[in-house]
Amino acid sequence: MNDEPIKKAEYDASADESEAPSHIAFEHAFFHTIEATSFRTLEDTREPVMITVLDEHDVSLKFSGIKTELNLDAGSCDAKMLDIVAEGLKYVRELRIGDKVPSEMTSGRASWAVTDEHRAIAHNRVTMQLVSWMSGEEMLITDPAQLAQVVDDPKTKEKISQAFSAAAKALGIEEERREDVLALIANLAGELSYIESLRDEFHEILRIRQTVQSIEKAYKHERSVLDTITPLKRLMKIVIDSFNDSFLQLDAQTGEILSALTNIAQVSRFIRQNRDDLHRRLWAWEGIIEDWRDVAPHRSTKAERLLDELYHFLAQRYLPRDEWELYSKAMDKTKKRATEVVW
């Protein structure tokens, strides 16, 4: 029998190796002369910098400036390490000398963890896709409550066992090696558990939109507040459409379960690339999500302040450059008027 299906069943995406060093380390004495040195990404420009403390103040040093001042050739170990740090900061918020290189760059594993709940959701989802494939009418269920209800049904449990056997046969795996199908499903579900975690975070953004819509009704007769809410909603739509597109692409890629299991290595790489992209994009929303967590959908000075902050957050990232510059100038003038003292 062709042993190709067995190879696929044993595939572990985390086994992919990289030539990247395992730890952050530098040779030049400059990197070791100042204590409490760290590497971060600037919030506004997203540029990686080295943070040092001088006279009790944080000082940001751009990587390009460090390379120039230290005369680091592009091929030198320290210049390459700075490039590795810059890449690593796409996956973690901060790096220090001696830290491990983010696992995304070495093994491909995520450097952050998921909950058992998200693992269960992903496993249930893959299992139900397999059952629906066996029935000849594949369907994709992403709602956790609906998934749990269907999987717990005694009739479904019978179908799951039959589906594993049918999948083994379709994949060319002998019946006595049924555990290979379980390994494939475990691999795929493990990768998708991170997507389910990110999907939960995205639902928090949807919740913010609902709160904004409720606040809009409370201010329906106040033009000054509506002038903020109207363009804010337009930008929120851009954000939500973009995230929806990403999740739809992921669901489509893994929707045909047998194809996904047959090409587990390729599908796992696709999931990981999108996982990392979604994680970076959702990073920026953490503070916003926390600020809006307990906002009551009615008139308040807190709601008005958060609306202004949310619009500024969105405008900075999603307005066309010319419109953002006009908005920034208008905000500067508003601040000057607000702080102007007339004698």
pLDDT at 202 over 50: yes
Query: Model confidence at 5, in pLDDT bands (50, 70, 90)?
Result: very low
Q: What's the whole-model pTM score? A: 0.82
User: Among 53-57, 134-138, 290-294, 326-330, which is the least confidently predicted range?
Assistant: 326-330
4 burial via Cβ count (<10 Å: 0-12, 13-18, 19+):
exposed
- The tally of CA atoms less than 13 A away on the side-chain side of residue 43 is 7
Stronger pLDDT, 240 or 138, i.e. the higher one: 240
Q: Does residue 216 contact residue 310 with C-beta atoms inside 8 Å?
A: no
CA–CA distance, 40 with 124 (Å, rounded to integer): 38
